[in-house]
Amino acid sequence: MKKLIYYAGLMVVIIILLPMFIVKGCGRPVEKKPPASEKTDGTVKIKVYHPASATVEEMDLEEYIKGVVAAEMPADFHIEALKAQAVAARTFAYGRLSGVYKPKEEVHEGADICTDSSHCQAWVSKEDALKKWSPFFASKNWNKISKAVNDTKGMIVVYKGAVANTLFHASSGGRTENAEEVWAGVSVPYLKSVESSGEERSKGYITSFLIKKQDFVEKFKKAYPDAVFGDNILDGIRIVDYTTGGRVNTIEVGDVALKGTEFRTLFGLRSARFVVSSADSKKDDMLKITTTGFGHGVGMSQWGADSLAKKGGTFTEILKHYYTGVDIVSISEFGTSGDTTQK
């Protein structure tokens, strides 16, 4: 009788309970819900605000990036530089799309990003891009840019598991800048000063313009009404110190001390790497302001990227040079344990 009960119990385990455990163990795993911005087919959509028409357009992220690269970087740059620009632009956009980085001013409420280069990133439609290029090179240029974007599809820059804020500029003047020395109090571990050679080819790398001393004083006093100047205006202008990247950190004008970035904004200079001098002996009433480089100098230098590419650097090497300690990963696998890092 005991044997009968034993065999009966064994049959229950084999026939009923064991299959239940097997089915449970082989069942379909719970799928992670895709990000709100990512569709089930793997595409990512982004809402773009066009200031000129005051309209918001939803478009495929990759198609949007093609327009950014076409607007932000010369098409005749090396393909690896264009790829680096594509990844930097995609990361910049994705950081705003995902809500990691938000603008202080709601200049494009209802959209993720705008096409104003002074606020977000420049962008141009394919139709307008083809028009701005010579008809002999238009199709070739667009195909080259499309290849740069397609070859880096979905790739973004991350730092220690977080989306990086991939700032970029035209040319640094030989060395990029620490973020905190441009925007006080904003220290970013991957936005550090690095060497950036080969930028001398850029248009307007060194530029000068003349301004009458009287106009200089009037413009300055509009911003600083209590400023006091001596008889010799030039003697009253003194650069106190420089940033790590070689830009003017503090400058004294008359009895006012201000940041080099503030002086740059006031006089509309191409960069904060500048010198103020006398025009020449024949124009004693004029001052000459000479700048080197173009842009805020933080992050990737576009002309520096092209120089690195022409020396054999890949887009990942370019990005890792200008963004210290970062990794390049895929959006679709971002945040997972998959080995998606670009070595």
Q: Are 141 and 133 in contact (CB under 8 A)?
A: yes
Residue 304 phi/psi, 5-degree rounding, is -65, -35
**pLDDT above 70: percentage of residues in the chain:** 83
Q: Are 212 and 77 within one domain? A: no
Question: What pLDDT was estimated at residue 101?
Answer: 81
Q: Are 85 and 224 within one domain? A: no
Q: Are 52 and 172 within one domain? A: yes
Interaxial angle between packed helices 302-310 and 79-97, expressed in degrees from 0 to 180 and rounded to the nearest 10: 140
Q: Are 210 and 267 within one domain? A: yes
Q: Are 152 and 186 within one domain? A: yes
- In sequence order, what E strands does 178-264 have? 206-212, 237-242, 248-253, 256-259
Q: Is residue 32 part of a domain?
A: no
Residue 169: domain span? 45-199+297-333
How many angstroms separate the CA atoms of 25 and 30, rounded? 12
Question: What pLDDT was estimated at residue 117?
Answer: 86
**What phi-psi label fits residue 6: left (phi over 0), alpha (psi between -120 and 50 degrees) or beta?**
alpha
Q: How many CB atoms lie within 10 A of CB 35?
A: 15
- Residues with Cβ < 8 Å from 22, sequence gap 6 or more? none
- 291 burial class (0-12, 13-18, 19+ CB within 10 angstroms)? buried
Q: Are 167 and 303 within one domain? A: yes
Q: Is residue 242 part of a domain?
A: yes
How many angstroms separate the CA atoms of 162 and 151, rounded? 23
Q: Are 72 and 210 within one domain? A: no
Question: What pLDDT was estimated at residue 199?
Answer: 96
Tokens, residue 86: 């594509």
How many angstroms separate the CA atoms of 335 and 330, rounded? 9
How many angstroms separate the CA atoms of 238 and 232, rounded? 12
Number of domains in the chain: 2
Q: Is residue 284 part of a domain?
A: yes
Of the candidates 280, 302, 150, the residue with the CA atom closest to the CA atom of residue 208? 280
Which DSSP state fits 228?
-
Q: What is the pLDDT of residues 212-265, one digit of tens each?
A: 999 999 999 999 999 999 888 999 999 999 999 999 999 999 999 999 999 999
Q: Are 247 and 122 within one domain? A: no
Q: Are 286 and 318 within one domain? A: no
Of the candidates 318, 324, 315, the residue with the CA atom closest to the CA atom of residue 193? 324
**What phi-psi label fits residue 333: left (phi over 0), alpha (psi between -120 and 50 degrees) or beta?**
alpha
- Residues with Cβ < 8 Å from 194, sequence gap 6 or more? 175, 176, 321, 322, 324
Q: What is the pLDDT of residues 18-53, one digit of tens each?
A: 333 322 232 222 223 334 444 545 688 999 999 889
Q: Is residue 339 part of a domain?
A: no
Q: Are 51 and 194 within one domain? A: yes
279 — pLDDT class (breaks 50, 70, 90)? confident
323 — pLDDT class (breaks 50, 70, 90)? very high
Q: Is residue 35 part of a domain?
A: no
Q: Are 312 and 286 within one domain? A: no
Looking up tokens 């034993």 gives: 6
Question: What pLDDT was estimated at residue 108?
Answer: 75
Instruction: Read off the pTM.
Output: 0.83
335 — pLDDT class (breaks 50, 70, 90)? low
Q: Is residue 20 part of a domain?
A: no
Q: Is residue 18 part of a domain?
A: no
Question: What pLDDT was estimated at residue 42?
Answer: 63
Q: Is residue 241 part of a domain?
A: yes
Residue 290 phi/psi, 5-degree rounding, is -115, 130
| Helix, coil or strand: residue 158 | strand
Q: Are 268 and 124 within one domain? A: no
